[in-house]
Amino acid sequence: MNPASLAALRPEEQSDLAREIVTPEGIPLRFTLARAGDRAAAFALDMLVQVLVLVAVSWGLSLATGGGNASWLTAMVVVLAFLLVNFYFAFFEVRWQGATPGKRRIGIRVIDARGGQLETSAVLARNLIRELEVWMPLRFLLAGGLMWPDAPGWAQLLAGCWAFAFLFMPVFNKDRLRIGDMIAGTRVVMQPKVVLVPDLAQEASAVPVFAPAGTRPVAAYTFSPAQLAIYGVYELQVLERLLRTERFDASYLEALRTVSEKVRQKIRYEGQVSDDERFLREFYAAQRAHLEQKMLFGQRRQDKFSK
Amino acid sequence: MQAATMSAPRQMRSVEFRKEREATWQALEEMIAAADKHGLRSLGAEQLARLPHLYRATLSSLSVARSISLDRALIDYLENLVGRAYFVVYGTRQHLRRQLSDFFLWRLPSTIRRARWHILISAVVMLAAAVAAFQLTRADLDHYYAFAGDMAQGRTPASSTAELRAGLYDTESQSGALVTFAASLFSHNARIGILAFATGFVAGLPTLLLLFYNGLVLGAFAALYHSRGLSLDLWAWMLPHGVTELTAVVLCGAAGFQLAHGLVFPGARIRMDSLREHGRSAAVIVIGAVCMLFLAGLIEGIFRQTVTSIAIRLTVAGTTAVGWCYYFGFVGRRRDRQDAAEREAPAGQAAQAQAHAHAPGRELAPQMSGQMEVAR
């Protein structure tokens, strides 16, 4: 990344995975779709939990019954295995608002694709279909020969391709939809991280300024409206990203110096600048105040190229 | 003029706005963190009642921030916070018990009533296969091997009539393995049922084959016992659980057809929308069918092996048949009517909401500015 040019610091990353939904209140929200790797990892974790539960419960039951009533024991394990395989995901997604232990660990969630309430029937639909999507290919892989012993090779190959086409469906469509997501109208998205950082503009104005008692503190650098009319929102937010970089090494200082020089050149700033960071922070505050003021009157200047 | 420039440390609106609202956001943030960590139930009634208010307030903050603030970090924060809160507020929320009663007393029978045509097709396919196999096997018993070869379990035309009869009234031999047998039967049947639904996604062809095959086995069996004069005994043996089990199989088939219908014939709607609606209702039907298969497994594993009287067996079969007819035909009708009435009354509103939900990706910030100026 070359910090010398403002445009090189693109604020929008991975926009091909960003999806918008409209909440029932009518406010658009943006979510990032979960990546295939995350989903696979969550699935593997959930499978691990299922196996562990099954083993633990069978073991506990066999201890409790003392190995006496074997038929009841087997029956319970058979039913438990069935319930686990088919309802583990649905159970947790209903109870934990779209998360399972694996999903929660990885930080992904199921939501309604249109932004409404996540319905139980949708959760059931998306998980019942795993029988076709996961278990059938898996059974085919593990016991293909047993299922269809005298099949010719080509038929086995064909059946294998057919089965695995379903498993790898999420890779083939741009919304990363599993068949279950298609028939249920759901999506799996990343759980966003919530961090509230201090406001740069407020910080800038809080920089101690030595002013005579009784007068308002003045900023060290001042900008004329003409100077503030050059950049737009895009440049402002790129600058914000630079200033929020939590790195205080030589390359950061270098970047600050280059950007500060560029800005001064562009807006024809004539005063002396001794502290590049301070200058940029105050320029940011002034520029933002200016652009927000304009925005209140319905003029949003998108970037330095807009009129 | 220079003195009046914008860089004076006068408070910006967006800064003031943040100061005013920050407490609300933080309260919501804490609540969401607690809910994520210890579950929604850990919040307690009072906090739970506050949650929607905080959510709405923060949502409106987001709207305002999008229109008045250029602080990217702030907007990101609000978007993420609202997103997290959205999961909690619009994730599935009802209590499990309430949901269960809702499901069995209204949703399931109502969904099944609406799927009657799919059910009819499913039943006809299975019956047709059964009748065909019955006629063919009756004409030539050798067909039996073709139709029911895998499922025969020693019951073939080569068995003597006495052996076949003994199979229908066997009470001792399996008594130990009875429960295991019932359990594995249930899980096997349920898996096939779920598969019949899931393969609906492949245009329903495998569903059709599964139903057809099931019918063939049934018909071949009936023909075999018929040829030995054991028809009544066979039906008395099969129907007590068979009424429930076969109905469940037909329902699973219907669910598969419904899914296929949504996929192949979306009608006037977008294919994805149609699939989503049909998929959800099909899933409801399958869950009902799985529950029925569980009941059938219980009857089959326990009742059938302990009661051998034809009269009692047939009475039980008849009772289950009447019971299911009543359940699917009449339970939850009142709620159906209420819903229909509600749908008719504010039809305009509902249509509007629908149109809104469909609004394709609107551009974020610029358009919001007009709507939410009220906030200050």
Q: Which residues of B touch A119 (CB under 8 A)?
A: 92, 280
Q: Is the pLDDT of residue B81 over 50?
A: yes
End-to-end CA distance of chain A: 28
pLDDT by residue (tens digit) across B218-245? 999 899 889 888 889 889 888 999 999 9
**DSSP β-bridge partners for residue A111:** A187
A112 contacts A119 by C-beta, under 8 angstroms: yes
Residue of B nearest to A295 (CA): B68
Nearest to A71 among B12, B179, B364 (CB): B179
A82 contacts B186 by C-beta, under 8 angstroms: yes
> Per the CB < 8 Å rule, is B199 touching A197?
no
- pLDDT in 10s for each residue of chain A, 307 residues: 333 333 333 344 446 788 888 888 888 888 889 988 899 999 999 999 999 999 998 888 888 776 566 777 788 888 888 899 889 999 999 888 889 999 999 999 999 988 888 888 899 999 999 888 888 777 777 766 666 666 677 777 777 787 778 888 888 888 888 889 998 999 999 988 888 888 887 765 554 444 444 444 456 788 888 888 888 888 888 888 888 887 778 888 888 889 988 888 888 888 777 788 888 888 888 888 888 888 888 888 888 887 6
Residue of A nearest to B10 (CA): A205
- Scan for tokens 């658009």, then name that residue: A28
H runs (alpha helix) in chain B = 13-38, 44-68, 72-90, 96-102, 108-114, 116-139, 143-148, 161-168, 178-198, 205-227, 231-264, 271-298, 304-306, 310-330, 333-344, 347-358, 365-371
Within 204-263 of B, beta carbons closer than 8 Å to A belong to 259, 262
Q: Which is nearest to B186 in space by CA: A144, A125, A74?
A: A74
> Per the CB < 8 Å rule, is B92 touching A119?
yes
> Per the CB < 8 Å rule, is B92 touching A223?
no
CA distance A162 to A137: 9
Q: Which residues of A touch B283 (CB under 8 A)?
A: 121-122, 124-125, 128, 183-184
3-class secondary-structure state, position A5: coil
* Best to test chain A binding among B38, B54, B66, B92 (most A CBs inside 10 Å): B92
Q: Which residues of A touch B81 (CB under 8 A)?
A: 194
- Conformation bin of residue B359: beta by default, left when phi > 0, alpha when psi is -120 to 50: beta
pLDDT score recorded for residue B363: 29
Q: Which residues of A touch B287 (CB under 8 A)?
A: 124, 128
Q: Which residues of B touch A184 (CB under 8 A)?
A: 276, 279-280, 283
Instruction: Report the complex ipTM.
Output: 0.80
**Identity at A259, one-letter amino acid code:** V
A185 contacts A122 by C-beta, under 8 angstroms: yes
pLDDT score recorded for residue B46: 87
pLDDT score recorded for residue B366: 30
> Per the CB < 8 Å rule, is A111 touching B90?
yes
**Identity at B118, one-letter amino acid code:** H
> Per the CB < 8 Å rule, is A120 touching B273?
no
**DSSP β-bridge partners for residue A19:** A31
Nearest to B99 among A120, A202, A300 (CB): A120
End-to-end CA distance of chain B: 29
* Best to test chain B binding among A118, A121, A233 (most B CBs inside 10 Å): A121
> Per the CB < 8 Å rule, is B87 touching A120?
no
Within 279-308 of B, beta carbons closer than 8 Å to A belong to 279-284, 286-287, 290
CA distance A142 to A158: 16
Q: What is the DSSP letter of B8?
A: S
Within 59-88 of B, beta carbons closer than 8 Å to A belong to 59, 62-63, 67-74, 77, 79-84, 86-88
pLDDT score recorded for residue B7: 42
3-class secondary-structure state, position B359: coil
Quick check: B93 contacting A, CB < 8 Å?
Answer: yes
Q: Which residues of A touch B195 (CB under 8 A)?
A: 131-132, 136
> Per the CB < 8 Å rule, is B70 touching A291?
yes
Exposed, middle or buried, A116 (CB in 10 Å: 0-12/13-18/19+)?
middle
pLDDT band at B126 (very low <50, low <70, confident <90, very high): very high
Residue of A nearest to B368 (CA): A27
Residue of A nearest to B183 (CA): A75
Q: What is the CA radius of gyration of chain B?
A: 30
> Per the CB < 8 Å rule, is A192 touching B68?
no
Q: Which residues of B touch A99 (CB under 8 A)?
A: 87
Residue of A nearest to B72 (CA): A237
> Per the CB < 8 Å rule, is B91 touching A98?
yes
Where are any strands of DSSP class E within A44-152?
A: 108-112
- pTM for this entry: 0.79
**Helical pair B347-358 and B333-344, crossing angle rounded to 10 deg:** 80
pLDDT by residue (tens digit) across B60-75? 999 998 888 888 889 8
B182 contacts B301 by C-beta, under 8 angstroms: yes
Nearest to B357 among A109, A115, A293 (CB): A115
Task: Kindly report the three-state secondary structure assignment for every residue of A223-253.
Answer: CCHHHHCCCCHHHHHHHHHHHCCCCCCHHHH
Measured between CA atoms, how close is A254 to chain B, in angstroms? 23
Residue of A nearest to B1 (CA): A224
Q: Is the pLDDT of residue B34 over 70?
A: yes
Q: Which helix (H) or strand (E) holds B174?
A: none
Residue of A nearest to B63 (CA): A27
Q: Which residues of B touch A104 (CB under 8 A)?
A: 36
Average pLDDT, chain B: 82
Nearest to B201 among A29, A124, A179 (CB): A179
Q: Which helix (H) or strand (E) holds A10?
A: none
A96 contacts B39 by C-beta, under 8 angstroms: yes
pLDDT by residue (tens digit) across B271-281? 888 999 999 99
Q: Which is nearest to B123 in space by CA: B222, B253, B288, B279?
A: B253
Measured between CA atoms, how close is B126 to chain A, in angstroms? 22
CA distance A297 to B372: 14
Between the alpha carbon of residue A166 and those of residues A134, A170, A180, B305, B308, the distances in Å are 8, 9, 10, 41, 47
Quick check: B29 contacting A, CB < 8 Å?
Answer: yes
**Identity at B52, one-letter amino acid code:** P
**Rounded mean pLDDT of B190-211?**
90
| pLDDT: which is higher, A6 or B185 | B185
Measured between CA atoms, how close is A299 to chain B, in angstroms? 10
pLDDT score recorded for residue A4: 32
- Scan for tokens 């991975």, then name that residue: A14
Nearest to B195 among A76, A131, A233 (CB): A131
